[in-house]
Structure 1
């Protein structure tokens, strides 16, 4: 590995970052074991970094990245994973930092490299139905009670109000879960402390089990935001889902808009007003054109019987079929509910939805 790194350095002077498992420590104080590492084993790594001009970016978290998970004198913990970079790279990313993130699923901790935050116009965030709530068996009953408290729904305005009230109820109910990210961070910190203290394996297992559940919830959270429907949850695809969600957010983020006279706006309030006026204009009916001269030239293709069928009220079956043909996580409305909320609670809300559509 060391010769390959040196060869790469010899053919390029571009800013360079190397991150991952080097399978070696730099110094003996990074090796926590009864048996020390041979100094001759460490020197080639240090020499390679010096030749390549690579500097260790440091870290925050536990001082080791590998734990063989054994007890007593045979336990070995060592910092094998790290991020190193040239000064040219560090000048481009002044605020880069590295976190060691413990995981219950591996004998290595995760190496998380953070850069500068993505700043830009941000609007207010509404409530969102989280698929991870469905892990709680009491959710259907909570929704049923919230919907029953709304009363009879006869039109779309009442349906909108019913959804708003239900979302408010779910928001209050879901507080017991806390924020998945924060709870996961707490569990990681707790696991980190237990690992550092060489605590009892049973205590570590309990925290690991809790962390596994939170990791699954995190995976579902990012799957929901990525809108990926062809990959099944539960296979630890969190990184993929997160990457897709971040890509979607960056792709869909509107940073500036140009008005009709060529003025560029980047303020969120100004862009909101401009977008509202634009779509209000293009979707407004123009009463000035007279279409009758053109319509008279068209040959009638739809029979009276066909027209009657097309204009007939939607049946309950047609509405239900249409509902269950929607992708469960596709494009939730402004009320924050994706299609899966309606699909999984159809027996509770079916009559109200159909009544509102009549």
Structure 2
């Protein structure tokens, strides 16, 4: 029995060391990427940025796969009883709390940190549209263009931000 306990302790230490190294690697790659994004764009700088982003994304993907496998294993083993695992120990039962939790979750997922100097991000990228095309894209909409686009839309497709489907505007 003592040997099994020692094995368990050793395996936990080993797993924690691996997790710690992976966390440190992700932090290091994130810091490197931030430094590269702040620097002036040179010939090799863009390649460094791309390489670091790929490496960081691979590490994040590995983490996601690990947690997905672990969640699946816990779900199969514990089912609905395992709410603390999936919710960081916070149990939310009221509608406003659920709405806030969902809102916060998706805001965190789909927002990014602002770049300190956005013009530096674009320094290494050459423009690919002509001056005339750029002016056309920046010009105000013409009524005919809006009418043509509206007629081309499916009349019963998803409503716009105002809640009205295209059919309303096509008819009225």
TM-score w.r.t. length of structure 2: 0.39
Higher helix share: 2
| Larger RCO, structures 1/2 (Cα 8 Å, 6+ apart) | 2
The structure number with the bigger radius of gyration is 1
Higher strand share: 1
